[in-house]
Structure 1
Amino acid sequence: MASRTSSAAQRPTAASSIPRPPLNVHPAATISETAYFQGTHPISVGAGTVIHPRAKLLSFKGPVSIGEGCIIGEKSVIGGPVASNSGLSTPTTPSATATAAPLDFAAGLDPSSSPSPGKTVTIIENSVSIGPLATISAGSHIHSAAAIESSAFLGKDVKVGRHAKVCTSCSIPEGDTIEDWTVIWGDGKAGGGLGNKLKRRKRAAGKGDDDRNLHGMNGGLVETGRLVALNRERESLTRLIGIGAGKRR
């Protein structure tokens, strides 16, 4: 990896002027060598998280915090959207990483690097799956065990609750909130809110929620099964991508 870093440094490219963010990547994270890390604010990645090839993590607008056990899909954008003049052309991999401190989601980042007032913090909590080509705009907060499917778009400051799901190609407008255990689906973009083209429904949350009937119990079991499948997928991806952050030092 040292030779790769030195040879890349010798090549004069337009991307050489793009700022490299401070990185706090857990050694147990698995990150493709073709993932992008660019920006000026800190980016942290928790244990067991897998980041696919050509995913872009951008911290130009503020810090980015990704929790444990997440999957960040290929060509997805976190902390975007990507500006047309961003100059993205060369991947920036975390060649020198530190063991990540436990993430404090209430504060927005790990406790040792709390953002300054006015910064736009992007938070992805634990066990979140982000599909290929999805865009998570700066300021979004995705709570634990949520799923954002392929080509979905989350506008600035969108809040996605626990165990919620945004289906393929849905576009969530800036500042909207998706409650816990809610599914969003429908025909593309939402004009002036989710009531026009997109639809939402509340999923049965299962035991411990207000809905305690048999259907609700089954809903909870289905979600438990999905999270088990997510963990198996992460394990397979770790072997497939083959290079964890801790092995890159």
Structure 2
Amino acid sequence: MSSGAGSVRRQASAAPGPKPPCSIHPSAIISDKAVIVGTHPVSIGENVVLHPFAKIVSNTGAVRIGKNCVVEDRATVGLSDSPGAFAGTTVELEESVSVESGSIVQAEKIGTGSTVEANSTLGPGVIVGKFCKITASSSIQSENLPDFTIVYGGNARRIDTTAKNRPDVRDLKLKGQVMHIETLKRLVPSNTMKWLS
């Protein structure tokens, strides 16, 4: 009898949260082990890749993920359950944004071509410009970063003048993201129907 009760308890704790209304582009790759929970709308664009154990949370605001974005394993995009004054705010990743393993992105917007490296935290209301790089383990809680900002070592800041002054470098970054996604499409099994049914 006790083993049956334990079994029920394990199942209850593993039960998923509510499934939000999802709009998912047919070319997106959503791992069967990715997690999408919440009550507000989630929009996932063309060629987006959600790795296994990537988590999208729309409990207190909508989430929009633009085309060619990648959300890696154990990364979370969306507002937490208690965002205070930011309740109802949309979390948006513009085009070609990479959110690496273990990062938490609650920011209002991450600009096109930006990278959030592993284990970084971007708090509610943060706005990150285009072609920015947030290096590993950074924490930004309330700030707007201009385009081409690099955050590094102890949250120091500098402007990436090469990316700023050379459109060819920006184009190469965007093309590199597309090539990366083409590789991921061969490696990450997709189950988008799980979220649309």
| Range into which the TM-score falls when normalised by the shorter chain | 0.7 to 0.9
Looking at structure 1, the residues matched to 193 and 93 of structure 2 have their Cα atoms a distance apart, in angstroms, of: 21
164-173 or 73-82, larger mean C-alpha shift: 73-82
Contact 2:48–2:69 under 8 Å retained in 1: yes
Deviates more, 1:229-238 or 1:13-22: 13-22
Aligned counterpart, 2:98: 129
* Aligned CA distance change for structure 1 residues 74 and 226 (closer, same or farther; 3 Å): same
1:156 is aligned to 124
1:99 is aligned to none
**2:135 matched to 1:167?**
yes
Conserved? CA contact 1:41–1:59, under 8 Å = yes
Which shifted more, 64-73 or 236-245? 236-245
Distance apart, 1:185 and its partner CA: 0.6
Mapping of residues 164-203 of structure 1, within 5 Å: 164-173=132-141, 175-187=142-154, 198-203=155-160
Alignment correspondent of 1:68: 67
1:29 CA displacement: 0.3
Structure 2: distance between partners of 1:180 and 1:153: 18
Are the counterparts in 1 of residues 104 and 121 from structure 2 also a CA contact under 8 Å? yes
Count of residue pairs the alignment pairs up: 184
Please identify which structure carries the higher strand content. Answer: 2
Partner secondary structure for residue 13 of structure 1: helix
Identity of aligned residues (%): 31
> For structure 1, which runs of at least 5 residues remain unmatched after alignment?
1-10, 84-117, 188-197, 210-215
Question: What is the alpha-carbon distance in structure 1 between the residues aligned to residue 159 and residue 171 of structure 2?
Answer: 17
The alpha carbon displacement at 1:147 in A equals 0.9
TM-score, normalised on structure 2?
Answer: 0.84
Counterpart of 2:175 (choices 203, 223, 228) is: 228
Q: Distance in 1 between matches of 2:16 and 2:194?
A: 27
**Amino acid paired to 1:221:** D
Name the amino acid aligned to 1:200: R
Q: CA RMSD in A?
A: 2.5
Counterpart secondary structure, 1:222: helix
Asked if 1:142 corresponds to 2:110, the answer is yes
TM-score (norm 1): 0.67
- Change in CA separation of 1:239 and 1:181 when aligned onto 2, cut-off 3 Å: same
Letter in 1 for 2:73: E
Matched position secondary structure for 1:54: coil
Whichever structure has more helix as a proportion of its residues is 2
Is residue 103–residue 121 contact of structure 2 (8 Å, CA) maintained in 1? yes
